[in-house]
Amino acid sequence: MSEVIVVTSGKGGVGKTTTSANVGTGLARMGKKVCLIDTDIGLRNLDVVMGLENRIVYNLVDVVEGNCRVKQALIRDKRNPTLYLMPSAQTRDKTAVTPEQMIKMVNHLKEQFDYIILDCPAGIEQGFKNAIAGADRALVVTTPEVSAIRDADRIIGLLEACEFKKIDLVINRLRYDLVKRGDMMSSADVVDILAIPLIGIVPDDENIVISTNQGEPLVGNGTPAGIAFQNICQRVSGKEVPFMDFEKGISFWTRVTGIFHRDRV
């Protein structure tokens, strides 16, 4: 049974594309057939993060307009034989595609893949509507900041209105030193506010920058973020993986004061 997962956040720059690339790659390395779709028409980025930018011939808009067959637009990742990327168009805008066309294309791809991962553009306009149209499951990415959490809350509301089967939360760029100091919301705080199931916590890690520079997702390579993304992939595929110690990152001190001030919040 194939699953169609949209990776979304509302706010830009919180790590949708990084999450899409790493979760897609991780699932493919687990032996699943995965198709990554970049739905950000006009601002395509998933191809560079994946290091596949030099191999694009056709794109998503070509497919929906019938200029090519779906298969021709799919780029196979040579490092992971079961991973494919459907790139977005760079020279068009969001209005080039309709939600109906997306559903049609996704349904076609469902026949060949275990997982279809849609990288959603920022915002809640047409591009967002296109991306969520064909999906039945969502990963909402947020960082522990007020602006990102507010936007995530809005997105969750919109997804719930569209009757999504499953909406899970990815907390990205968590800094444990700040959490310990009381200057960043902990994962528990964020979950408390957004009230959806947590599927992963990705620590703030400079290796993300390095891996993006190189165009090679870092999932499963032993770095803190790599391990975190590996765990997310396992949980996406239904395995129960305990949250690692560094993922919790709540010191004894924070716990004590947390209890102390619980009645206030």
Name the site residues for other proteins (rule: CB under 8 A): 145-146, 149-150, 153-154, 156-157, 160, 179, 181-186, 189, 192-193, 195-197, 256-257, 260-261, 264-265
C-alpha 174/C-alpha 177 separation (Å) is 9
Q: Cβ closer to other proteins: 71 or 154?
A: 154
Nearest distance in Å: CB 251, other proteins: 13
Q: Cβ closer to other proteins: 71 or 255?
A: 255
Phi, psi of 54 (to 5 degrees): -85, 0
Nearest distance in Å: CB 256, other proteins: 7
- Burial (CB < 10 A; 0-12, 13-18, 19+), residue 11, is buried
Beta-strand relationship, 198-203 and 166-174: parallel
Nearest distance in Å: CB 55, other proteins: 41
Four-residue CA torsion sign, 202, 85, 83, 198: positive
Q: Cβ closer to other proteins: 33 or 150?
A: 150
The 83-86 sheet, strands edge to edge? 75-76, 83-86, 34-38, 115-119, 3-8, 137-142, 166-174, 198-203
Q: Cβ closer to other proteins: 183 or 240?
A: 183
Nearest distance in Å: CB 50, other proteins: 33
